[in-house]
């Protein structure tokens, strides 16, 4: 399949095709999306486009190279998947994979390493893989596929450019979106690169997060309604109160994650606009005019840098760095 054949994944296919034409392919991608959303098909087309001997930046489906990739028999395109029994990708499999990726291309093209169900990488296998992901060999593209990005180590997530194939679990719309987007629009419009603006945004986000925490607590308290028990044994009450705290913390974190996801797609849209993408490709098409205004004058490296800053916040939070510090460091990075 060529890029234009990928009708159902038109948005991502166009994005990759354009990056390829401009020679701006990332070293490592993370394709996220539910099962059946075409991640493997797009990864295969990308591998063919990088190695096709007939077409520039696309797949012809007929040449020797394209056919061998379709058959899974191309020496420069490596696939790794979970082993059937354990549903895990074993560390030995990753060692083999990296050995292959680090070999010189046997046909003079670009090597492509594809990890299917990357959420099945255990910690050991992930760690073994990190160095290659951080400094991939020249002329190599690594693509990770997953339906469940939350299960990947943050260190892996932060080293890949994420491409979303339709809704995944973590793409649920945040109920606080309407409050968040104007803050981001204002921040991006008043000129990034100013430390004062980063601190302004930090203050606004902190206030929003406090509000989210408060509302989360209020609704869980109302639902559990501990006051309805008049004569509770102190021990039982204590246990119920602990449960309440745990639920507040859990739901608050999930809400914060959705908020970060909205931030990520805002800056993702800026990147797409800086690349000249169509409105239809944006995660927030309703915000297109605002995004377009801001994206004028934004360079591609700056847009990539901004996305990394947001990913860094998420990475820090998952390593239990304090929330304030995680946001401060990430937002200051936006000002660099
Ligand atoms: Zn071909």
Q: Give me ligand 1 centre to Cα 160, in Å.
A: 27
User: What is the spatial distance between Cα 118 and Cα 45, in angstroms, rounded to a whole number?
Assistant: 19
Q: Give me ligand 1 centre to Cα 75, in Å.
A: 15
Residues 139 and 205 in one domain: no
Q: Give me ligand 1 centre to Cα 45, in Å.
A: 10
Which among 127, 147, 171 is the end of a domain? 171
Residues 87 and 54 in one domain: yes
Of the listed ranges 50-54, 131-135, 167-171, the least confidently predicted one is 167-171
Residues 140 and 183 in one domain: no
Residues 129 and 206 in one domain: no
Contact 281/15 with Cβ under 8 angstroms? yes
Query: Residue 85: pLDDT band by 50, 70, 90 thresholds?
Result: low
Strand ranges for 84-216 from DSSP E:
111-115, 140-146, 161-164
Residues 289 and 207 in one domain: yes
Residues 56 and 131 in one domain: yes
CB atoms within 10 A of CB 38: 20
267 pLDDT exceeds 60? yes
Query: Residue 215: pLDDT band by 50, 70, 90 thresholds?
Result: very high
For residues 26-50, give the mean pLDDT.
91
For residues 182-206, give the mean pLDDT.
87
CB atoms within 10 A of CB 302: 16
Residues 17 and 165 in one domain: yes
Q: Give me ligand 1 centre to Cα 62, in Å.
A: 5
- Name the residue range of residue 182's domain: 177-334
pLDDT of residue 170: 43
User: What is the spatial distance between Cα 137 and Cα 78, in angstroms, rounded to a whole number?
Assistant: 14
Positive or negative, the CA dihedral 148, 154, 155, 160 is positive
pLDDT tens sequence across 135-176: 888 899 999 999 888 788 877 887 888 888 865 444 456 788
Which among 119, 154, 171 is the end of a domain? 171
pLDDT of residue 65: 95
pLDDT of residue 168: 43
Query: Residue 289: pLDDT band by 50, 70, 90 thresholds?
Result: confident
Q: Give me ligand 1 centre to Cα 68, in Å.
A: 10
Q: Give me ligand 1 centre to Cα 202, in Å.
A: 50
Residues 139 and 20 in one domain: yes
Which among 171, 190, 210 is the end of a domain? 171
Residues 166 and 185 in one domain: no
Of the listed ranges 30-34, 57-61, 172-176, the least confidently predicted one is 172-176
pLDDT of residue 102: 85
pLDDT of residue 208: 96
Q: Give me ligand 1 centre to Cα 47, in Å.
A: 10
Q: Give me ligand 1 centre to Cα 320, in Å.
A: 47
Question: What percent of the chain has a predicted confidence (pLDDT) above 90?
Answer: 33
Residues 141 and 258 in one domain: no
Q: Give me ligand 1 centre to Cα 221, in Å.
A: 61
Q: Give me ligand 1 centre to Cα 165, in Å.
A: 25
Query: Residue 336: pLDDT band by 50, 70, 90 thresholds?
Result: confident
User: What is the spatial distance between Cα 277 and Cα 303, in angstroms, rounded to a whole number?
Assistant: 14
Average pLDDT over the chain reads: 86
pLDDT of residue 169: 41
Residues 113 and 204 in one domain: no
Q: Give me ligand 1 centre to Cα 107, in Å.
A: 13
Q: In the chain, helix, strand, coil percent, each to 5? A: 60, 10, 30
Contact 220/254 with Cβ under 8 angstroms? no
Query: Residue 84: pLDDT band by 50, 70, 90 thresholds?
Result: low
CATH number of domain containing 107: 3.40.50.300
pLDDT of residue 193: 64
Most confident of 73-87, 113-127, 157-171: 113-127
224 pLDDT exceeds 50? yes
pLDDT of residue 217: 93
Q: Give me ligand 1 centre to Cα 237, in Å.
A: 69
Output 228 or 70, whichever has higher pLDDT. 70
For residues 179-208, give the mean pLDDT.
88
Using a CB cutoff of 8 Å and minimum separation of 24, what contacts does 15-21 make?
A: 15/163, 15/272, 15/275, 15/277, 15/281, 16/42, 16/46, 16/163, 17/49, 17/57, 17/58, 18/275, 18/276, 18/277, 19/275, 20/46, 20/49, 20/50, 20/57, 21/57
Query: Residue 244: pLDDT band by 50, 70, 90 thresholds?
Result: confident
For the chain, how many structural domains are there in total? 2
Query: Residue 116: pLDDT band by 50, 70, 90 thresholds?
Result: very high
Positive or negative, the CA dihedral 163, 166, 172, 175 is positive
Residues 96 and 147 in one domain: yes
Q: Give me ligand 1 centre to Cα 41, in Å.
A: 15
For residues 281-299, give the mean pLDDT.
82
């Amino acid at each position: 399949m060529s890029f234009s054949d990928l009708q159902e994944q038109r948005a991502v296919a166009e994005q990759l095709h354009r990056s390829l034409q401009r020679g701006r392919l990332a070293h490592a991608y993370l394709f996220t999306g539910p099962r059946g959303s075409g991640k493997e098909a797009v990864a295969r087309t990308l591998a063919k486009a990088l190695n096709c001997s007939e077409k520039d930046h696309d797949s012809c489906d007929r040449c020797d190279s394209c056919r061998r990739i379709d058959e899974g028999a191309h020496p420069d395109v490596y696939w790794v998947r979970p082993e059937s029994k354990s549903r895990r990708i074993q560390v030995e499999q990753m060692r083999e994979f990296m050995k292959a990726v680090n070999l010189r291309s046997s046909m003079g093209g670009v090597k492509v390493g594809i990890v299917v169900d990357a959420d099945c990488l255990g910690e050991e296998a992930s760690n073994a893989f990190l160095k290659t992901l951080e400094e991939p060999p020249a002329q190599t593209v690594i693509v990770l596929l997953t339906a469940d990005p939350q299960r990947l180590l943050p260190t892996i997530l932060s080293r890949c450019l994420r491409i979303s194939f339709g809704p995944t679990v973590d793409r649920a719309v945040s109920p606080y979106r309407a409050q968040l987007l104007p803050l981001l629009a204002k921040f991006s419009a008043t000129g990034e690169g100013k430390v004062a603006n980063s601190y302004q945004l930090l203050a606004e986000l902190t206030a929003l997060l406090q509000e989210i925490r408060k509302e989360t607590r209020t609704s869980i308290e109302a639902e559990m309604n501990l006051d309805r028990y008049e004569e509770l044994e102190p021990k039982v009450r204590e246990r119920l109160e602990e449960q309440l705290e745990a639920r507040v913390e859990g739901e608050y974190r999930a809400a914060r994650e959705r908020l970060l996801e909205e931030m990520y797609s805002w800056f993702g849209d800026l990147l797409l606009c800086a690349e000249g993408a169509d409105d239809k490709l944006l995660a927030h098409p309703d915000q297109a005019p605002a995004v377009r205004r801001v994206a004028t004058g934004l360079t591609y490296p700056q847009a990539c840098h901004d996305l990394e800053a947001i990913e860094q916040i998420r990475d820090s939070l998952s390593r239990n760095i304090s929330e304030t510090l995680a946001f401060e460091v990430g937002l200051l990075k936006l000002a660099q």
